[in-house]
């Protein structure tokens, strides 16, 4: 039986932490669908299409790339999971501070769709402090992003924040 998981998130932008989780997930699942949340009532730096494009670029050379699909979605995650006939949601937990939010979200999703379960994976401990918001903060102030995101993402962030700063 082929097993598929949804890996939902904002991915604004994808980080080395996400990529580490994805690689781990490809060892556990035949297929992982990265579901990029758009219209998520959150201000994002990159549009949905830009986020998908960056993810696809980052997957470029990975040996496990063929196991990954990247999609945008808006609406309730469990509706998208049902539409794709997937009953596993995959999320990363980096530290205790993630737990409360993840616990609430997993139990809410379970209440809405009892047949869909959430599985948590931990990234490499060297990456546990990386978050998209920290990455954006560093990018805003022109810091070194090389250990946080792949070069293609760093370039896109630098370009984005250069425009932002020019507008301010």
Binding-site ranges for ligand PNS (CB under 6 A): 8-10, 37, 40, 76-77, 105, 108-109
> Under a CB-based contact definition with an 8 Å cutoff, are residues 78 and 35 in contact?
no
Quick one: 110 or 160, whose CB is closer to ligand PNS? 110
In the chain, how many H helices and how many E strands? 6, 5
Quick one: 59 or 81, whose CB is closer to ligand PNS? 81
Quick one: 137 or 162, whose CB is closer to ligand PNS? 137
- State the minimum distance, in angstroms, from the CB of residue 95 to ligand PNS: 14
The torsion of the CA quartet 14, 65, 103, 95, rounded to 10 degrees, works out to -60
| Nearest residue to 16 (alpha-carbon basis) of 108, 97, 123, 103 | 123
- State the minimum distance, in angstroms, from the CB of residue 53 to ligand PNS: 17
- State the minimum distance, in angstroms, from the CB of residue 61 to ligand PNS: 24
């Amino acid at each position: 039986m082929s097993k598929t998981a949804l890996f939902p998130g904002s991915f604004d932008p994808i980080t080395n932490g996400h990529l580490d989780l994805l690689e781990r997930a490809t060892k556990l699942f035949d297929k992982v669908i990265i579901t990029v949340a758009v219209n998520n009532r959150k201000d994002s730096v990159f549009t949905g299409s830009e986020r998908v494009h960056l993810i696809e670029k980052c997957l470029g050379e990975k040996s496990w790339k063929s196991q990954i699909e990247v999609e945008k979605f808006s609406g309730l995650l469990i509706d998208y999971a049902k539409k794709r006939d997937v009953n596993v949601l995959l999320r990363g937990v980096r530290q205790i501070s993630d737990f409360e939010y993840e616990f609430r979200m997993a139990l809410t999703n379970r209440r809405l769709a009892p047949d869909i379960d959430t599985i948590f994976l931990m990234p490499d401990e060297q990456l546990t402090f990386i978050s998209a918001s920290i990455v954006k903060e560093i990018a805003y102030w022109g810091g070194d992003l090389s250990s946080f995101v792949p070069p293609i993402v760093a370039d896109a962030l630098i370009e984005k924040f250069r425009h932002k700063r020019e507008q301010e």
